[in-house]
A and B are shown apart, each in its own frame.
Chain A
């Protein structure tokens, strides 16, 4: 895996790519030398056993944490080290592993204020109601994630699964080109997990999603490509079938769970 070589469509520019990406915390190398490209469209899942460096990788490509080495490219543009809000404005949205909404705002206002971030930020003396298209957009997105009936509740009053769905609506509000999800089903009941994976698949029909997932089974069937991390390094990448057949992956990952 030396150079980024997207196999799906050679001429197409990957939406996101990393070059030699690494992160050290003091003497501890959480991640090193990861070079990988993510194709436009569909779901690419980042998998790996505990401690593989998945969350670190997620934090680096989402701009939450600056890398110690290497670069992150968004549609060919170097975005390494940009402030988090710049990532958002470029069209990279993310949903955190820990539920991360605006607890004391209504569900509708959560998404409306997120949708507003792209258009009007410093309008000091116009009423927020003067932008009905933002409210309409918020309500449409809430319908899409299945929260259409809960729009007047405070975000903190929602159940855990609903809050994750709300967070995804908040992330989508900025009309991102790329949506990053960190373990979207963490801490969910089996029904909630199923609902969430249905939602993820629906979203991927029209968008590009990258998701970090611990449970390999969940993503095998739905992902277009898989990236496998192990001990802070890239172990393999490719189609689900290629990953299933990959001897190294079988040894360190599947072998253990089989």
Chain B
């Protein structure tokens, strides 16, 4: 076990013409897929779920796949976003758009506070520290019953419709709801892609590949990691805020570290460090969970076993493996 060896990654290798083109238009291709997705998905509520979880996995992937930091504390950001949004609506009656912003902001603040502490630890240590810090947040929200509903969760986030200039979106219509959520998620995907293409994104990849070398090049690795951590937290917070509106309830379990584990699972199933992988992972995870739950109440047994099999035999994940095969075939 060599310290700091990056986990299996598809790399940015000698990419063929077709893959290079696809990579240039990755936002358009991803959005095109998500636009037709409701017509493929078994039912519409599941499609919204996958969209939101996909954004959660995307935010997580910025840190895990692109920066090489394995966090087990992202539940605090998903939960922070959900609670922030839910509280803004339930207690303050804010417009859903502002509530989304409030949720994202709360998640960003939590990420900044956790990040300042967690960044001080390195390597495997980081996973343990983020997990423990997120549990601190979990218990804090658990105890703040007046705001969060404590053990019973935050209920009554009813957003039947959203008033926008000129239109009123009826969220009770599943199709309208899906495309409304997609508008927000699509914006996040576009921002995420810009970030990856930026010099900052390049520096994050360098840190993932070789932290010491990146430092010797003049990068302030600690500050850049913190920035990545906070941005990743903000994206996951936005996902949480959307989920609060989608489900109209925020269960306290959203902040538990098992929810962080869900992000880890989705990222690995889909393919870490790939742009589209998080959505593949979110879809796989949701369909697996849904499909298995109709067969057995012990679906977690199979989810765990499948995850183990992926770690052992398919570490690139589904999408990562597809990309690697296409690349080998000279695409």
Contact = CB atoms under 8 A, between A and B. Distances in A.
Chains A and B belong together in one complex: yes
Interface of A: 62, 83-85, 87-89, 93-94, 96, 100-106, 109, 112-114, 116-118, 120-129, 131, 152-154, 170-171, 173-174
B199 A126 contact: yes
A94 B218 CA distance: 11
6 contacts: A88-B217, A105-B11, A113-B202, A121-B219, A124-B194, A128-B201
Given A88-B219, A104-B11, 10 more contacts: A85-B216, A88-B217, A102-B213, A105-B206, A113-B203, A113-B206, A114-B217, A116-B202, A124-B195, A131-B199
Q: Across chains A and B, which 8 residue pairs bring their CB atoms closest together, nearest first?
A: A88-B218, A102-B209, A104-B11, A117-B218, A117-B217, A120-B199, A114-B217, A84-B215
B205 A113 contact: yes
B314 interface: no
A106 B221 contact: no
Contacts of B9: 104
B209 A105 contact: yes
Nearest to B201: A128
Contacts of B205: 102, 105, 113
B151 interface: no
A100 B220 CA distance: 18
B6 interface: yes
B6 to A, nearest CB: 7
B209 A85 contact: no
Given A100-B213, A121-B224, A89 B218 contact: yes
Interface string B3-17: 000100101111000
Given A117-B219, A170-B217, A128 B210 contact: no
B296 interface: no
A250 to B, nearest CB: 36
Contact of B215 (A88, A118, A122, A154): A88
Nearest to B195: A124
Contacts of A113: 202-203, 205-206, 217
A122 B200 contact: yes
Interface of B: 6, 9, 11-14, 191, 194-195, 197-203, 205-206, 209-210, 212-221, 224, 227
Contacts of B209: 102-105
Given A102-B209, A116-B202, A154 B218 contact: no
Nearest to A118: B218
A124 B12 CA distance: 20
A83 B12 CA distance: 30
A117 B9 CA distance: 24
A126 B198 contact: yes
A176 B234 CA distance: 37
Contacts of A93: 216
Contacts of A153: 14
A116 B203 contact: yes
B322 to A, nearest CB: 18
Nearest to B220: A85
Contacts of B6: 103-104
Contacts of B224: 121-122
Nearest to B9: A104
Nearest to A91: B218
Contacts of A109: 12, 202
A255 B11 CA distance: 51
Given A100-B212, A170-B213, A85 B206 contact: no
A173 B195 CA distance: 23
A100 B202 CA distance: 17
Nearest to A102: B209
A180 to B, nearest CB: 10
